[in-house]
Chains A and B, each alone.
Chain A
Amino acid sequence: MTRFLSPIKVLLFIALMIPLGIIVFDGFQNNLTADPIEELLHRTGIWSLRLLLLTMLMTPMKVITGSFVFIRVRRMIGLFAFFYASLHLLIYVWLDLGLDWAHLLEDIIERTFITVGMLAWLLMLPMAITSNKRMMRKLGKTWKRIHQAIYLVICLASLHFIWLVKSDITEPLIYTGIGLSLLLFRVAHHYHGKRSKHKGSTNTG
C-alpha cells in the first residue's frame, strides 16, 4: 500500500459526503419540509442503511470481479455508514429530544424500534473504533469477530425501519430484501468455500 491517497478513495470520500452536502444545503434553503427534524432523521437514517448495504456488497463484488479495489474501499464506506448513523442518533437525542435523557431511556426501554436502532449503533461503535491497521494487527481473530457484527447490524437496522413505518412497509421491505440477499450470499459463499477447501482449493472466502 502506498502512503499516497489513491484517487479512487478521494473520489469516494467526496461522493459519500454528497448526501450530507445536500442535507446542509437544503437546511440553509429551509427546504427540509415543515417538520425538519423528522426529515433530517429520515435522510440520515436512510443513508446509513444504504451505506451499510453498500459495505456488505463489497465482498461479493470482489468475489465476482476478483478486484481487490472493493476491499480497499470497504472500510471507508463502513465508516461513513457509522458517520450517518451517528448523525441520525445525534439529531434524535439532541434536536428531537432536546437532550432529555429520561425521555431517551424511556424510548429505548419501551419502544422496540428504538431499542433495536440503539443496539445497531452500539454494535457499530466498536467496528468504527477498530477500523484501522493498528487495531487490526493488535486484535487478530477478535477483530474479525467484532466486524462480523455487521450482519446483525443490517438485521437490526432493517427492523428499526420496518417497525417505525405506520402502514405501507414496501420501502423498508425492499431494503430488508437487499440485506437478506447479501447475507444469503455470505452463507452460500461460506459453505461453498469450505467445500472448496476440502477439494484443496486456496479460496479463503
Chain B
Amino acid sequence: MKFKNTHKDHQITDESIYQSRRKLLKAGLIGTAGMLSSPNFALTLPKSEPNSKFVIDELTREQDATTYNNFYEFSLSKSGPSEKAGGLKTDPWSVEVGGLCEKQGTFDLEKLINQFQLEERIYRMRCVEAWSMVIPWNGFKLSDLIKYCKPLNSAKYLYFETLYDPKQMPGQNGRSIPWPYREGLRMDEAMNDLTLMAVGMYGKNLPNQNGAPLRLVTPWKYGFKGIKSIVKIQFMDKQPINSWQAIAPNEYGFYANVNPQVDHPRWSQATERRITGGFSLFNSRIDTQMFNGYGDYVADMYNGMDLRKNF
C-alpha cells in the first residue's frame, strides 16, 4: 500500500539504506516488534489527531500489546502471531463491499482510507479470557465507511470476514476455527461513535499480528469481536453468525458485550488482569466494568434487552 506522501519517505531515507532494509524485511530478517511495526513500512498513515474524549493515562506497553494477543490464523499461542505474521502481504490490500448497499464493489484500501479522517483513540481492550490492555488505536469511524457505502433501508446488520489464505496464514491449515473468521454487528452498533476501523496503533502501522492492515475495534465488547485483516464487508438483513458463536453457542454470543454479571461458563467475568507491562506478578485483579466502562456511549442500544440471554 502506498500513500500520497510515500515518495517523500524515500527521499528522507537514504536510498541504499532504504533498499537494504527492504531486502532484510523481505527476507524476514528484521523482527516486527520494537523496530518497525510491519513489513509495509513504506506506508505512511495520514496524520491522526488524538481524540481527547478517549484518553486513558496508563497505556499497555507497545511491546506487550504487539507480542501478546490471539490471532488463530497464525498460531494458537499468544506470542505465535508476532513470530509468524511477518509474511502476510498487506500491500496492496482490497476490501470487498457487498450486500444491501448502493456502493458495492472492491475497494483499494489505500484509496478508501484517504476518504476518511483518521484519529487516535485510546481504548480499553477486554479479552473474553479475562485479561485486558489499554491501546492507542489509529483509525477512522466505521460510521464514515458505512455512510460512504450508502446502505439500503433493509440493511440491519454488518458482516465482516478475515482473509482466508493458508499460505500466508499458516494457522488456517488447522481446524481450530471454521475459516474464514467471521464477525458481525447490528447496524446501530456499527454506526456507534465508538466503533473504529483501525489501521494503526501506537501511532504506527498496524502490525500484522494485530490485524493489519484493517481491523475492527469495539471497545465495549470482548476482544474477539475485533475482527482482523478484513477483506469483506457485507450489509445484511439477517443477523450473521460470528465464528465463536458458531464454535460454541453456549459460551459465546453474537453481542459479546463486556458484562461482569454474566460469566463465561468456564471463567468468571467479574474481574480481569490488566496487562500494562513490567513486573506484574503481584498486581491484583481489577473489577471489570459493565460495557467495559463505555456504558454512556452504548447502554442505550440495549434498552429492554435481556443481556443474560443476549450475551
Contacts and interface: CB of A to CB of B under 8 A. Distances in A.
Interface of A: 27, 30, 33-38, 40, 95-98, 100, 103, 106-107, 110-113, 163-164, 166-168, 170
B70 to A, nearest CB: 9
A107 B268 contact: yes
Contact of A35 (B177, B267, B271, B273): B273
Contact of B131 (A35, A98, A112): A35
**Of listed A98, A111, A167, residue having the most chain B CB within 10 A:** A167
B209 interface: no
11 contacts: A34-B68, A34-B275, A35-B68, A95-B282, A98-B284, A111-B266, A111-B268, A166-B129, A167-B177, A167-B247, A170-B174
Interface in B87-133: 129, 131
B273 A103 contact: no
Chain A interface SS verdict (over half): helix
B268 A106 contact: yes
B72 interface: yes
B277 interface: yes
A34 B64 contact: yes
A36 B280 contact: yes
B30 to A, nearest CB: 21
Nearest to A113: B266
Chain B interface SS verdict (over half): loop
Contacts, number: 65
B5 interface: no
Contacts of A111: 265-268
A30 B280 CA distance: 10
A124 B14 CA distance: 65
Given A111-B265, A167-B176, 12 more contacts: A35-B131, A35-B273, A37-B273, A95-B281, A96-B285, A98-B284, A100-B285, A111-B266, A111-B267, A112-B266, A164-B266, A167-B72
Nearest to B79: A33
Given A33-B79, A163-B266, A164-B266, A38 B131 contact: yes
Contacts of B76: 167-168
Contacts of A98: 284-285
B237 interface: no
Interface string B120-158: 000000000101000000000000000000000000000
A167 B268 CA distance: 18
A103 B72 CA distance: 30
A167 B181 CA distance: 13
Nearest to A40: B281
A100 B278 CA distance: 24
B180 to A, nearest CB: 15
Contacts of A110: 263, 268
Interface string B44-69: 00000000000000001100110110
A46 to B, nearest CB: 13
